């Protein structure tokens, strides 16, 4: 019976996966991680005032339990700022760099922000994701705009004040 259990496999298919991928213990291949990152980035970086809270709730399901409190505070504060300032943001992903050894991901793309149909920002942006793999599952440890800071809701508030 124990020998049979050691050959047991669990199949996990993240949203958007269209290629074959392999999961061995706590090691995932780059295809799996890249697919998951596309899903996560759509939840975290493209939103409207009407969808932000719901998207962030879904995003928080993928945070490691130890990182959840910080992520919840950050993204709930961001949801409030988005609702207050009526900011809509779109992020077009251009490149994903995955370092499976350090479990760090760099996302490069173009971020556009709008307030009342007026574009307030249009430029290149990099985001950084620290992750961990526990029992074959991808968990977010941190999402940051730079290597040294967390996602900054203050940027949205600053842009909203400029636009008023």
Higher pLDDT, 32 or 108: 108
Instruction: For 8-61, write each residue's pLDDT tens digit.
Output: 555 555 555 566 655 555 566 777 778 888 999 999 999 999 999 999 999 999
What span, in angstroms and rounded, lies between the C-alpha atoms of 134 and 46?
27
Residue 157 belongs to what H/E stretch?
Answer: helix 153-163
Rg of the chain taking only CA atoms, in angstroms: 17
pLDDT attached to residue 6: 58
- Copy the structure tokens of residue 62: 């993928």
- Which residue is it, tokens 């574009």? 119
- Copy the structure tokens of residue 130: 């620290």
* 87 touches 81 (CB < 8 A): yes
Query: What average pLDDT does the segment 73-94 reach?
Result: 95
What is the C-alpha end-to-end distance of the chain, expressed in Å? 68
* 87 touches 115 (CB < 8 A): yes
């Amino acid at each position: 019976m124990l020998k049979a259990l050691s050959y047991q496999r669990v199949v996990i298919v993240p949203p958007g996966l269209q290629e074959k991928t392999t999961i061995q213990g706590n090691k995932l291949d780059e295809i799996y991680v890249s697919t998951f990152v596309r899903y996560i980035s759509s939840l975290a970086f493209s939103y409207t005032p009407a969808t932000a809270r719901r998207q962030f709730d879904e995003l928080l399901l993928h945070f490691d339990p130890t990182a959840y409190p910080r992520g919840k505070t950050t993204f709930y504060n961001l949801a409030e700022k988005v609702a207050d300032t009526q900011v809509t943001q779109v992020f077009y992903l251009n490149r994903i760099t995955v370092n499976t050894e350090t479990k760090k991901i760099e996302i490069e793309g173009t971020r556009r922000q709008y307030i009342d149909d007026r574009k307030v920002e249009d430029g290149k942006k990099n985001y950084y994701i620290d992750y961990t793999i526990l029992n074959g599952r991808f968990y977010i440890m941190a999402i940051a705009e730079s290597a040294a800071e967390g996602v900054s809701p203050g940027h949205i508030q600053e842009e909203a004040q400029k636009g008023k």
